Amino acid sequence: MKVAVFSTHKFEKDFLLRAAKGKHELILLEPQLSLTTAGLAEACNAVCIFVNDDGSKDVLKKISAIGIRYLVLRSAGFNHVDIKAAYELGMRAARVPEYSPYAVAEHTIALMLALNRKLVLAHNRIRDLNFSLNGLTGFDMHGKTAGIIGTGKIGRIVAEILHGFGCRIMAYDIMPDNDWASKYGVVYTGIDNLCSQSDIITLHAPLTEQTRYIINRDRIAKMKKGVMMINTSRGALVNTKDVIASLKSGQIGYLGLDVYEEERGLFFEDHSSDILQDDIIARLMTFSNVLITSHQAFLTDTALYNIAETTITNLDCFENKTACKNELKP
C-alpha cells in the first residue's frame, strides 16, 4: 500500500521504515495534515497521521476525494479526528490504543519530581557556579495525598508508582475498578473531594465533551493552596487562563504540562528563530514553578517501536481486508 505519512519526525523515521519491511511504500512527509497539505497524499491509498494533524471533516473530505481509503493514527488519542465523518466517507480508520503506558506514566513522575525538587533551577544555578541551596526546598512525596483523574492504562501505572513512594492515593473515574484499587490502597471518590484533599493532582482522562476544562476556576478554588498539578493527557482538560490566574495567586504551587490546549503548530517544531505569537504560553513560561515539555511523555524507544509495529499491522489488516482490532468506529 502507498501511504502518505504526515508529521514525520526524525526520531521515528527508522522505526517506521524498519516495521514496514518494504511491505508498504511509506512517503515520509514533514508537514502536518491540513486543508493546505492534503494534496500531498495524491496517488496514495492511505494516510498516516500523528496527534496534531487535522482530522476534521473538511480535511477528510479532501483526502477522500483524492482516493484515500484508509487512515492510520500513530497515536492512542483520536479526539483530533472526526471518526463519524471518516466512516460516512467509507474510510476505515485505526489507532495505536496502547504503545507504552509506562513511558507516559514515568514522564508524569519525572515532571512531579523535577518540580518538587526544583531540578531545573538547581541545574541552571550550578552552571552559573551558584551552589547555594536557598530556594530549593522540596517536600517528601511519602505521606502526601495524590489524586489521579482517570485510572485507565496510564493513570493506574502512575498510581502504582506513587503507591511505591508511600503516597495516599485518591482517584476519580467514571468507570472505577475496585478490585485494582484495593490492591494499591486507592480510594475512589468524587472529583471535587479529590480536588480538595490532594497535594498532587494528575490528569489521565481522555479529552471528551465531559472532560473539556474539567480543571477550571471553580474546581481550582476547591484545591489545597499550593497544590501540584500535572497534565500529560490532553491540553484542553485544563482551562489554561484559569490556571495562570491561580499560579499568580499561589493557589497552584507547581504546574507540570506535557500538553497544551493550543499546542498544534507549536509543539514538536523548532521555533527558536520565530517571534512567539502565543501570549498564554509565553505567560506560563515566566513562572519558575511551571515545567513544560513538548508532548514528549510517550517518547521512549519502546513506545516508538510499538507505535511503528502496530501502525504497520493496522495497514496490513486494511490491505488484506481483514478485521482490525484497533479499528475506530463511531
Catalytic residues: 234, 263, 295
Q: Which residue of 32, 202, 233, 326 would you call a contact of ligand NAD, by CB under 6 A?
A: 233
Region 171-200 residues binding ligand NAD, contact defined as CB under 6 A: 172-175
Q: 45 or 100: whose CB is closer to ligand NAD?
A: 100
Q: What's the closest the beta carbon of residue 32 comes to ligand NAD, in angstroms?
A: 17
Region 7-66 residues binding ligand NAD, contact defined as CB under 6 A: none
Measured between alpha carbons, how far is residue 271 from residues 146, 181, 218, 267 in Å?
35, 43, 34, 9
The closest residue (CB) to ligand NAD is 152
Return the sign of the alpha-carbon dihedral for residues 222, 223, 229, 231: negative
Q: 68 or 257: whose CB is closer to ligand NAD?
A: 257
What's the CA gap between 161 and 274, in Å, rounded?
39
Answer yes or no whether residue 292 interacts with ligand NAD by CB under 6 A. no
Residue 220 · residue 243 · CB < 8 Å: yes
DSSP 38: G
Answer yes or no whether residue 286 interacts with ligand NAD by CB under 6 A. no
Residue 46 · residue 66 · CB < 8 Å: no
DSSP 39: G
Say how many CA atoms lie within 13 Å of 98 toward its Cβ. 7
Answer yes or no whether residue 168 interacts with ligand NAD by CB under 6 A. no
Q: What's the closest the beta carbon of residue 77 comes to ligand NAD, in angstroms?
A: 3
Selected range binding ligand NAD among 25-33, 117-125, 226-234, 282-290, rule: CB under 6 A: 226-234
Answer yes or no whether residue 295 interacts with ligand NAD by CB under 6 A. yes
Residues 125-154 as x/- pattern, contact with ligand NAD by CB under 6 A? ------------------------xxxxxx
- Helix (H/G/I), strand (E/B), else coil: 94: strand
Which of 65, 56, 53, 58 is CA-nearest to residue 90?
65
Answer yes or no whether residue 210 interacts with ligand NAD by CB under 6 A. yes
Q: What's the closest the beta carbon of residue 107 comes to ligand NAD, in angstroms?
A: 7
Which of 288, 280, 222, 217 is CA-nearest to residue 246?
217
Answer yes or no whether residue 95 interacts with ligand NAD by CB under 6 A. no
Return the sign of the alpha-carbon dihedral for residues 317, 323, 324, 330: positive
Answer yes or no whether residue 219 interacts with ligand NAD by CB under 6 A. no
Answer yes or no whether residue 201 interacts with ligand NAD by CB under 6 A. no
Q: In what order do the strands lie in the sheet with 327-328?
A: 25-28, 2-5, 46-49, 70-73, 92-94, 327-328
Answer yes or no whether residue 211 interacts with ligand NAD by CB under 6 A. yes
**Cβ burial, residue 34 (10 Å; 0-12/13-18/19+):** middle
Selected range binding ligand NAD among 13-21, 110-118, 201-209, 247-255, rule: CB under 6 A: 201-209
Beta-bridge mates of residue 93: 71, 328
Answer yes or no whether residue 232 interacts with ligand NAD by CB under 6 A. yes
* Interface residues toward ligand NAD, by CB under 6 A: 76-77, 101, 104, 149-155, 172-175, 204-208, 210-211, 232-234, 258-259, 295, 297-298
